[in-house]
Structure 1
């Protein structure tokens, strides 16, 4: 049995209960309370729970420690595990870092280099490097016919083979080089042509030249006759060179034996004059008389200066001149 001292406050109102154990408006007394020794004074934290409650509490604790049982909500950062592999984290942190798979960092590629990547099975680039491109010419596609050959061996012949509109053959020409001998050309715009030292070959008559290539004069041996009668022994050599419409000539008629020949010395010219022309000459073997000559169409006539006959034994008659040709 326990004895409890109670100090009561003033009783203001007394209930209408005739059994109310208060005998005055205020009272103080020590009261004896029976059964108080049976009260459980164990703390709340240490009080026992039922079997069902204990099982429920154990389930909650187990679920809190097992992430596989999470169905919603947010996992506190402190509960985050450490991750390793391609993505790494620290224990209790939510910030992630990509793992280093390629330590070669920097700028790659240039005007002469290409970038070479190495990629692993996960699709991650594990290496990067600059590679100088040096392809074999033969492996380059899309080139025109002969271009690859020229690039590999840049000769004039291979350049011509690679071109589709070339003219001629020989070596490629550059400023300052020798032009050589082209098959043809038009020199309309040529300037500074040194005629005294820089021109070779034959300048045609149509271009103001002679057309002469420096060859020997042509020699003809026409048959000699007379205005009347017949020579016993006579010969003629007619030397000439044609330059454009001009014929330079000299002629020698040798009379060994005159026979019955008389009048003009006659022979047929190897060229065709444009008209009848005349000139002079001289007998050079006997008497030294001056001579004259005249062509009548294509027949040459030779006589003494006074138009009498120069025909006699042992005489050589030389004439020269120029004929305008048809």
Structure 2
């Protein structure tokens, strides 16, 4: 720190000047003490510049508790990562040939299967008991490694798949997984009958161990003529499909309706004749206004044909249209088996 310089009062005759001088000296002392390092930690105790030990030692440092504290020589010596790595390098007798040794040892590892070779002494270990007397690997000797590879017998193959068992005449078992198909489909089979519709295998199937894509059954149907809604109390079926009663199905349908007399209200339902899948209601404001409605949903084990039905609860002059567009697809339903 800077040296403390105090000014001695010239006389105490004039109290004012003496007091002023003593006050200035006190301020100088306070500033000087504030600029020292506090041994007991009294703050502020923060360095404002580099601290020069002038080649003197700092004694009795504790072990570092974080990455921001000074480290001692004993702490570095005990670090297994750095010191251990340096010690491992010393196992190589000729550091000038480290690159060559690494290349040849890798060749031995790949061709013979010795496992991890940590130093040059490992390459002289026998590959197996049967060949211990005749075959050893010498460092930096690719020719020896090649010869050893030729003398090592190839291991017996295990897990070789056997030929798949062809399907029998009874194909009624539900085919639910790819594993089932792989286990039972003979090479060249392209479809499997059974249940509702056929399961079609992916194009290009050559053998039963390939990945197999199964296309689930799809049913679709279009209304072939207008359906008169002649009773306000009854639902009349529009398009429907005969998909069977097995499995889980996604079904989607759409119909076009109108009333030839005037404004009317309609109720729609997608169902299997027993279980409701989806429903809705709409209305038209004038005669011959056309209303297009779509419904969809999922059902398991349907009790009957999947269908989209409609009721005109306002008059008996409503009807489901099949060809108002001129394309004969105005009212259609489709069902896809999911499982």
Q: Normalising by the residue count of structure 2, what TM-score does the alignment of the two structures yield?
A: 0.20
Structure with greater helix share of residues: 2
Higher Rg: 1
Higher relative contact order (CA 8 A, sep 6+): 2
Q: TM-score, normalised by structure 1?
A: 0.21
Question: Which structure carries more strand by proportion?
Answer: 1
